[in-house]
């Protein structure tokens, strides 16, 4: 079947996006709509002595001005907490919708001005007088514990202090090791930068006492749940949340932010629809940032170069408020991945999460897993260098062998399946690893240092088995829902709780339907992103849409087929047990009787000849699917670079990626996801950095200073796959959305170190900007000259 599972069907949704016909939140306008502008703190840390809104309220076009004192509903909540080492709980300081008494980062919302036009709202906001009593900013992660108190009563600015693994066994391994490899790495802070900035349009319906919120969300149902049950404390049925076309999220659009909540709250006060759309500056200042860890790593090796233990002590910068999944990212999405794809008998990790007076930090493409992979692949590389082994062979020696699955790691997860050597071998072949040294010497004749870097990664996707998430501190379930409605004419409408904001669900999910029901892709419509139109769902993040949402669709389709068989049996006067369904046709084994899927659909809705005594009419089924385990995509990426020693410029000359995503539904979309992920990882490794000055001002708050990867920064990627199908879901799929961003940064940094290792360079920080690289070369040359 050319449009079923495994076909590279062109994306259905692209026509509308490429012709500029997408309908985003900001494209929607409602009668009587007014505009909100948020006055934001321009200092990082201060007590608010007074706010005077008189002049602003009287300004032209102003409908209302509100401050924190006016708000009578709660603020954003924390969706995941962990226990501290001493048994106490994560500190969850309140996060008011508008600052109350204090501001905690530059960009913190202090007041909202609502006016007939956006320009009027902006002009009036300049008339709001805020008197600040400035407090010392807390910016540096390493000294945050000694900084000024950010949240009342929160000692040492620490949100939590968590541990995982066996400390005693790990320390024993470190003591008995024949070599301990030590490394400190910093995972640089990133700004997510989806192309579409966040936006909200809230409307209150006086007759029903209910709200409609259009917003840029990756998980509209969760937004409704949090708004209704936790913030406003009203029945969930009183809020409808619609996330129409959304232009990218990368994690930043999972959470409920203060702006959409304030607009929703105020829409009832003023009884008019309120629109807010972030400009790029507000996006830089207020979209939850990503990463920002410091990891102290110790790896224990025995005399045969086998890894016998790993200890990782991590500091995580979580910013001025605790964002919804901020706690999960450095703990359960990070600590549990520290075994990588290696057989490591003893692992221990301690993670301390700190507040600083910076933008809150939360999940960003990969969320915790890139940080785990980065530190692990860096220390593995250093270990190979120290013991004088080839970087690929050192990894191979320590891989979990393929006959060891299911494999229980020392950090809670159980990998169901995998086979890591074929992906390594394939990637090495794709990049012609064995002839690298001749390329290195050819480059050196041109005055360039050439290097090759390997990164073998694993990730836990398909978030999440609810029972596991619950046991580990998660406050939501991890299942997904789907319903499949067969229309009388045989066309299909699929509703899903997953949300597409660039992933191509309309295409991929239709391919599952085509495969199972034999109808063409064009007969399948996907509905998502509207809490009133689809069953409750958890949304899209953590590479879960296919591995959880797609499987739910598959299960709903199975129910449709099961019922259809009964209808077909009746139509063909046979027993349902004898009915077979294949390629859109029902047949009775051993006879030449057949009936088409379309006839069964029609019979279900025009039940003139129908077993009404035993079967309901209609053909519409819903399934909820909660996964048994995470899925574990894994693979190897290899980067090859050339460094110009005169400027420090790194050119990526080749890239090979070989990933095991289990079964592929649409290989073209998978390849696109890998490309995008690698591009973001290259951004992190070479270009991107959220830079704060000591006063807590974000110096990189525009594209003049924050460097996003552009097409000409990237090489052509070679992308291939291996396949060990997931053992515990019906489709055998694992998920591919984050892999590229997880695998790529260490491959690139390892390649740069490899290039410069003849000079004695053994460390490189991210982003490896031209100056950073040039300086490392200068320092190495100075050391050599001594």
Partner 1 sequence: MYSTKIVKAENSSAAVQAIGSSKEGKILAGGMTLIPTLKQRLANPDCLIDISGCGLEGVEDKGSSVRIGAMTKHAAVAESSLVAKAIPALADLAGGIGDRQVRNRGTLGGSVANNDPAACYPSAVMALDGTVHTNKRDISADDFFKGMFETALEEDEVIEAVSFKKPEKACYMKFPNPASRYAMVGVFVAKFSDGVRVAVTGAGEEGVFRHSDLESALSSNFSEEAVSGVEVSSDGLMSDIHASADYRANLIGEMTKRAVSS
Question: What's the token pair of residue 533?
Answer: 């139109």
Q: Using CA of residue 377, residue 431, residue 687, residue 672, what is the dihedral sign?
A: negative
Compute the distance between CA of residue 465 and CA of residue 629 in angstroms, rounded to an integer: 6
Nearest to partner 1 of 55, 707 (CB atom): 707
Range 202-221, binding partner 1 (CB under 8 A): none
- The runs of H, that is alpha helices, within 435-521 are 436-445, 466-471, 505-517
Shortest spacing between CB 713 and partner 1, in angstroms: 8
Answer yes or no: are the C-beta atoms of 39 and 691 closer than 8 Å: no
651 binds partner 1 (CB under 8 A): no
Quick one: 176 or 702, whose CB is closer to partner 1?
Answer: 702
Among residue numbers 265 through 324, which ones bind partner 1 (CB under 8 A)?
Answer: 281
The single residue among 122, 238, 269, 396 that binds partner 1, judged by CB under 8 A, is 122
Rounded-to-integer distance, Cα 39 and Cα 57, Å: 13
Q: Which stretch in 62-70, 115-123, 170-178, 610-618 sits in contact with partner 1 by CB under 8 A? A: 115-123
Nearest to 413 by CA among 480, 334, 473: 334
276, β-bridge pairs = 200
Query: In whole angstroms, what is the distance from residue 635 CA to residue 361 CA?
Result: 28
Give the Å distances, CA to CA, from 519 to 100, 201, 441: 57, 37, 57
Site string for partner 1, 694-713 (x = CB under 8 A): -----xx--xxxxxx-----
- Contact segment (CB under 8 A) with partner 1 among 117-125, 309-317, 524-532, 733-741 equals 117-125
**What minimum distance in Å lies between the beta carbon of 770 and partner 1?**
7
> How near is the Cβ of 219 to partner 1 at its closest, in Å?
31
Within a 10 A sphere around the Cβ of 600, how many other Cβ atoms?
Answer: 26
- Distances, alpha carbon 458 to alpha carbons 35, 376, 659, 663, in Å: 45, 11, 10, 16
Q: How far apart are CA 141 and CA 586, in angstroms?
A: 64
CB of 186 to partner 1, least distance (A): 16
DSSP state of 369: H
- C-beta of residue 127 within 8 angstroms of C-beta of residue 99: no
- Piece of 71-79, 116-124, 434-442, 725-733 that binds partner 1 (CB under 8 A): 116-124
> Which residue's CB is nearer to partner 1, number 127 or number 568?
127
CA-to-CA distance for 640 and 659, rounded, in angstroms?
Answer: 18
- Indicate which single residue of 88, 589, 647, 781 sits in contact with partner 1 (rule: CB under 8 A): 647
Q: Exposed e or buried b for every residue in 16-53, given b needs 16+ CB within 10 A?
A: eeeeeeeebbbebebeebbbbbbbbbebbbbebeebeb
CB of 435 to partner 1, least distance (A): 31
Closest residue by Cα to residue 293 from 762, 693, 745: 745
Complex with partner 1: residue 296 or 700, whichever CB lies closer: 700
Nearer to partner 1, 426 or 448 (CB): 448
* Number of shown-chain residues binding partner 1 (CB under 8 A): 21
Of 270 and 707, CB closest to partner 1: 707
* Cβ proximity to partner 1, 130 vs 567, nearer residue: 130
The least CB distance from residue 89 to partner 1, in Å, is 38
Residues 763-782 that bind partner 1 (CB under 8 A): 769-771, 774-775
Residue 698 and residue 691 in contact, taking contact as beta carbons nearer than 8 Å: yes
Query: Counting contacts by CB under 8 A, is residue 646 touching partner 1?
Result: yes
CB 738, min distance to partner 1, A: 25
Cβ closest to partner 1, residue 434 vs residue 691: 691
Q: Which of 123, 298, 356, 680 binds partner 1 (CB under 8 A)?
A: 123
CA distance 271 to 264: 10
Q: How far is the CB of 361 from partner 1 (least distance, A)?
A: 20
The interface with partner 1 within residues 417-456 (CB under 8 A) comprises: none
Give the residue with the Cβ less far from partner 1, 168 or 705.
Answer: 705
Cα 531 from Cα 241, distance rounded (Å): 5
Find the length of the chain: 786
Q: Near partner 1 by CB under 8 A, which window of 91-99, 119-127, 245-253, 440-448?
A: 119-127
- Tell the smallest beta-carbon distance from residue 771 to partner 1 (Å): 4
* Sites of contact with partner 1 (CB under 8 A): 119, 122-123, 281, 646-647, 687, 691, 699-700, 703-708, 769-771, 774-775
């Amino acid at each position: 079947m050319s449009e079923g599972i495994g076909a590279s069907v062109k994306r259905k949704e692209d026509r509308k996006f490429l012709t500029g016909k997408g309908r985003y939140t900001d494209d929607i306008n409602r009668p009587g709509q007014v505009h909100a502008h948020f006055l934001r703190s321009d200092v990082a840390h201060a007590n608010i002595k007074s706010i005077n809104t008189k002049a602003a309220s009287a300004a032209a076009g102003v409908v209302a001005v509100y401050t924190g004192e006016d708000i009578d509903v709660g603020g954003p909540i924390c969706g995941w907490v962990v226990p501290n080492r001493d048994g106490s709980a994560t500190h969850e300081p309140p996060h008011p919708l508008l600052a109350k008494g204090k501001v905690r980062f530059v960009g913190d919302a202090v007041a909202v001005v609502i006016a007939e036009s956006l320009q009027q709202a902006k002009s009036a906001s300049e008339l709001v007088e805020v008197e600040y009593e400035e407090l010392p900013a807390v910016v540096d992660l390493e000294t945050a514990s000694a900084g000024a108190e950010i949240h009342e009563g929160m000692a040492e600015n620490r949100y939590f202090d968590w541990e995982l693994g066996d400390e005693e066994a790990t320390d024993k391994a470190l003591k008995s090791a024949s070599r301990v490899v030590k490394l400190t790495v910093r995972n640089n802070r990133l700004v997510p930068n989806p192309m579409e900035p966040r936006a909200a349009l809230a409307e209150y319906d006086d007759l029903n006492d209910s709200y409609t919120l259009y917003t840029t969300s990756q998980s509209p149902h969760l937004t409704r749940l949090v708004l209704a049950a936790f913030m406003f404390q009203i029945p969930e049925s009183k809020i409808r949340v619609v996330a129409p076309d959304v232009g990218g999220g990368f994690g930043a659009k999972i959470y409920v932010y203060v702006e959409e909540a304030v607009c929703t709250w105020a829409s009832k006060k003023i009884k008019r629809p309120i629109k807010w759309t972030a400009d790029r500056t507000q996006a830089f200042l207020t979209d939850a940032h990503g990463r920002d860890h410091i990891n102290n790593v110790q790896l224990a090796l025995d005399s045969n170069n086998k890894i016998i233990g790993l200890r990782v002590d991590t500091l995580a910068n979580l910013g001025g408020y605790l964002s919804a999944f901020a706690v999960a990212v450095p703990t359960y999405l990070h600590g549990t991945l520290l075994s990588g794809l290696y057989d490591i008998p003893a692992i221990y990790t301690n993670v301390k999460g700190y507040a600083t007076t910076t933008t809150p930090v939360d999940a960003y493409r990969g969320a915790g897993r890139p940080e785990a992979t980065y530190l692990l692949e860096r220390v593995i590389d250093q270990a190979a260098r120290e013991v004088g082994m080839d970087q690929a062979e050192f990894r191979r020696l320590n891989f979990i062998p393929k006959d060891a699955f299911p494999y229980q790691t020392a950090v809670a997860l159980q990998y169901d399946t995998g086979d890591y050597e074929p992906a390594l071998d394939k990637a090495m072949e794709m990049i012609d690893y064995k002839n690298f040294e001749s390329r290195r010497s050819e480059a050196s004749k041109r005055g360039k240092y050439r290097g090759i870097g390997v990164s073998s990664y694993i990730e836990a996707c398909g978030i999440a088995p609810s029972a596991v998430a619950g046991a580990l501190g998660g406050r939501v379930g991890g299942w997904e829902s789907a319903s499949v409605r067969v229309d009388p004419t045989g066309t299909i409408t699929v509703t899903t709780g997953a949300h597409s904001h660039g992933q191509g669900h309309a295409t991929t999910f239709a391919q599952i339907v085509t495969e199972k029901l034999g109808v063409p892709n064009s007969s399948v419509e996907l509905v998502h992103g509207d809490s009133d139109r689809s069953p409750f769902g958890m949304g899209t993040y953590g590479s879960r849409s296919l591995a959880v949402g797609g499987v739910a669709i598959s299960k709903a389709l199975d129910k449709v087929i099961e019922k259809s068989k009964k209808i077909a049996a009746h139509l063909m006067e046979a027993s349902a047990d004898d009915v077979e369904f294949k390629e859109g046709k029902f047949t009775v084994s051993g006879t030449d009787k057949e009936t088409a899927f379309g006839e069964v659909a029609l019979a279900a809705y025009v039940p003139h000849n129908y077993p009404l005594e035993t079967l309901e009419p209609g053909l519409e089924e819903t399934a909820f699917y909660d996964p048994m385990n995470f899925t574990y995509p894994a693979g190897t990426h290899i980067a090859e670079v050339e460094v110009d020693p005169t400027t420090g410029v790194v050119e990526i000359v080749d890239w090979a990626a070989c990933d095991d995503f289990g079964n592929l539904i649409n290989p073209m979309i998978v390849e696109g996801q890998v490309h995008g992920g690698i591009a973001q990882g290259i951004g992190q490794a070479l270009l991107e950095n959220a830079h704060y000055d000591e006063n807590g001002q974000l110096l990189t708050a525009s594209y003049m200073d924050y460097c996003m990867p552009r097409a000409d920064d990237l090489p052509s990627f070679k992308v291939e796959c291996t396949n060990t199908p997931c053992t515990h879901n019906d489709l055998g799929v694992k998920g591919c959305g984050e892999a590229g961003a997880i695998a790529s940064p260490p491959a690139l940094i390892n390649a740069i170190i490899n290039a410069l290792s003849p000079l004695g360079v053994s460390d490189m920080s991210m982003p490896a900007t031209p100056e950073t690289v040039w300086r490392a070369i200068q320092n190495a040359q100075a050391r050599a000259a001594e």
